Amino acid sequence: MTAIRFLFPLILLMVFTERLLAQDLSNLKNQKPVGFNGGLELRGIFYNANGIANRRDPFTYLLSGSPTISVYGWQIPFSFVVSKDERSFRQPFNQFGMSPTYKWITLYAGYRNVTFSPYTLAGHTMLGGGFEINPGKLRAGFMYGRLNRATVIDTTTQSLVPYSFSRKGMAGKLGFGTATNYVDLNFLHAKDDSTSKPDLLLPDSMRVLAAANTVVGYSMRLLLFKKLSIESDGAASIYTRDLNSPISLDSIDDPILKRLRGLMEINGSTEWFLAFNAGIGYREKNYGIKVNYRRIEPDFKTMGAYFFANDVENITINPNFTLPNGRLRVNASLGIQQDNVNLQKEATNKRIIGSGTIGAELTDRLGVDINYSNFSNNQRPNTLRFADSLKIVQTTQTLNIMPRYTIIGNQITHLLLLSVNFSGMKDYNSYFEQDATNRDIHTSQYLINYNISFPARLLSLFTSVSHTAMDGAGTQTSYSGVTLGGNYSLARQKLQTGLNASLMQGRTPSGKSMIINGALNLNYRINNWQGIRASFFLTNNNPGSAVTGMSPAFTETRGELAYQINFGL
């Protein structure tokens, strides 16, 4: 194993060097030596509140940019955000990163979001460096850096907060293939630095244990005969919950972990979990079908992703169909999902997951979209019989119908859109049949939107009326509202203006409430590379008799003034 760990980076370096020396660099003379383009924005934000305490600073500023430097064809994008609130670790605005690319080479430096596979490094922000190369059919990548920084004290209030350790890690992939046909091997190793916090005496509720994680997996995509697709991802995650655990590994009967002793941080708090998904699909010109299967064991997680749904197993079938003329489109999905994958819980929750979408162009002007979904829960006892009051048998259905009518003319364009949405949750638990409170919930939503535009005058106007009602849990609430607005361009399209206002009235058993919102937007283009943007927002919230005590009526105003530069050299 030691020999493999030594030879792997050496082989990778030899392959990379050989391809680099063989690369034809003769076209460099045709490339622009140095280029510079991107955007820069300086924004000031003003805020004021009446009736309540200010919920943000009266004034703040934000400087952001996305410049890109090119050197003989190398693209080196940068991005940064700077704010005066950077003094608080809860808002780490100052982040810089770049990803220069040249042909089949991409380098990463600074704060980057990289994905190698869904079960290893999957979009987690990392401060560090790395690369991805794709010479021919070789696919390789590597990242190393900091995943989390240690946080102990809120620098704004100087108060103690639940801390986190400094966490560093590395991730990589090595594969062969193209964008549509490939097989990759992936890995991730991350570890907390248990010395990155002060030695404080904290209550158990605030304790955080230093952990370590190693994940190995694969990703595969195959396209056969341009019609049959096969895809799969899988991984095994070895997670040590407490690096300083006094529990010895010898006290745990797990031969796999004992074989890995010495290769990674393993002790009595270490466990390993599996995740797997696979799909197979067939596609013709006007129809297709795909079957997907997914199984993720309880507690499976990776330090390379922020959130991961686990303890889930499902299988779905997804057919689709389109008429040759494109006037009818049908997509559907039907499957079964359950938890308690390893049969460790007292009950198993099964769900029927189904949905469907129909899009139809009835005439050149009239079209309609219909969406339907039906999700049901049925919890059954597994290892222990329990009271009927704890069982869950529910069905949730949603139906949405959206007809639209469009008239496109040379002088005037009309668009009328109607949206009707019904949703309901039906509770079939017999234990509650004698309960005076109805546990079923029904919601209905109605929206009518009308838009008229005058292209020659650079003017558009819109209005909408909405109503939402909910009936359930022994109460009835409803909200009705109207919105008006428009957009207009003038000064030879250098100035774009937008204005909208909305009024929403709520009704509950305790009374009425009213919310008024307004917004004004102005954009002025000084020339081809700079502009000014101004915005004003108003909110007036009057809870009325519906809410009392700590929720008084209030008015909030917010204004923004921004100067923007778009440059290209």
Asked whether residue 29 is assigned to any structural domain, the reply reads no
Domain boundary among 445, 473, 501: 473
Instruction: Note the pLDDT of residue 15.
Output: 31
Pair 180, 225 in one domain: yes
| Residues constituting the chain | 569
Pair 460, 348 in one domain: yes
Pair 469, 325 in one domain: yes
Pair 335, 271 in one domain: no
Quick one: which of 122, 109, 132 has its CA closest to 190? 122
Pair 301, 315 in one domain: no
pTM of the model: 0.69
Asked whether residue 426 is assigned to any structural domain, the reply reads yes
For residue 259, what is the enclosing H or E element? helix 255-259
- Within the chain, how many helices (H) and strands (E) appear? 2, 30
Pair 148, 262 in one domain: yes
Instruction: Note the pLDDT of residue 12.
Output: 31
Three-state SS sequence of 190-221 = EEEECCCCCCCCCCHHHCCCCCEEEEEEEEEE
Phi, psi torsion values for 19, nearest 5 degrees: -70, -35
Number of structural domains in the chain:
2
DSSP state of 432: G
Pair 299, 318 in one domain: no
CA distance 370 to 533: 39
Distance of CA 279 to the CA centre of its chain: 22
Domain boundary among 291, 308, 325: 308
Q: Which two tokens stand for residue 174?
A: 């090595």
> Buried b / exposed e across 457-469, counting CB within 10 Å, b at 16+?
eeebebebebebe
Pair 371, 255 in one domain: no
Pair 124, 183 in one domain: yes
Cα–Cα separations (whole angstroms), residue 361 to 219, 285, 347, 401, 417: 39, 19, 46, 14, 14
Asked whether residue 481 is assigned to any structural domain, the reply reads no
| DSSP states along 325-367 | TSSEEEEEEEEEEE--TTS-SSEEEEEEEEEEEEEEE-SSSEE
CA distance 62 to 69: 23
Q: Mind listing the pLDDT tens digit of every residue in the chain (569 residues)?
A: 333 333 333 323 333 333 333 333 445 566 777 888 888 999 999 999 998 888 888 998 888 888 888 777 667 777 778 887 653 333 334 567 778 888 888 899 988 889 999 999 998 989 999 999 999 999 999 999 999 887 765 544 445 555 678 899 999 999 999 988 999 999 999 999 888 765 555 555 556 788 999 999 999 999 999 899 999 999 999 998 888 888 777 667 777 777 777 677 788 888 889 999 999 999 999 999 999 999 999 989 999 998 878 888 999 999 999 999 989 999 999 999 888 888 877 777 888 888 999 999 999 999 999 999 887 655 554 444 434 444 444 567 889 999 999 998 888 999 999 999 998 876 655 544 445 445 678 899 999 999 999 988 899 999 999 999 988 767 889 999 999 999 999 877 889 999 999 999 998 887 888 999 999 999 999 988 899 999 999 999 988 754 444 468 899 999 999 999 988 76
**Among positive and negative, which fits the CA dihedral 106, 111, 117, 120?**
positive
Q: Is 213 exposed, middle or buried (0-12, 13-18, 19+ CB in 10 A)?
A: buried
Please give the residue range of the domain that contains residue 400.
311-473
Bridge-partner residues for 525, per DSSP?
A: 531
Q: Which two tokens stand for residue 163?
A: 């801390």
Asked whether residue 558 is assigned to any structural domain, the reply reads no
Three-state SS sequence of 49-74 = EECCCCCCCCEEEEEEECCEEEECCE
Pair 377, 261 in one domain: no
Asked whether residue 524 is assigned to any structural domain, the reply reads no
Pair 272, 151 in one domain: yes
Domain boundary among 414, 443, 473: 473
Instruction: Note the pLDDT of residue 412.
Output: 94
Asked whether residue 90 is assigned to any structural domain, the reply reads no
Asked whether residue 385 is assigned to any structural domain, the reply reads yes
Asked whether residue 493 is assigned to any structural domain, the reply reads no
Pair 140, 266 in one domain: yes
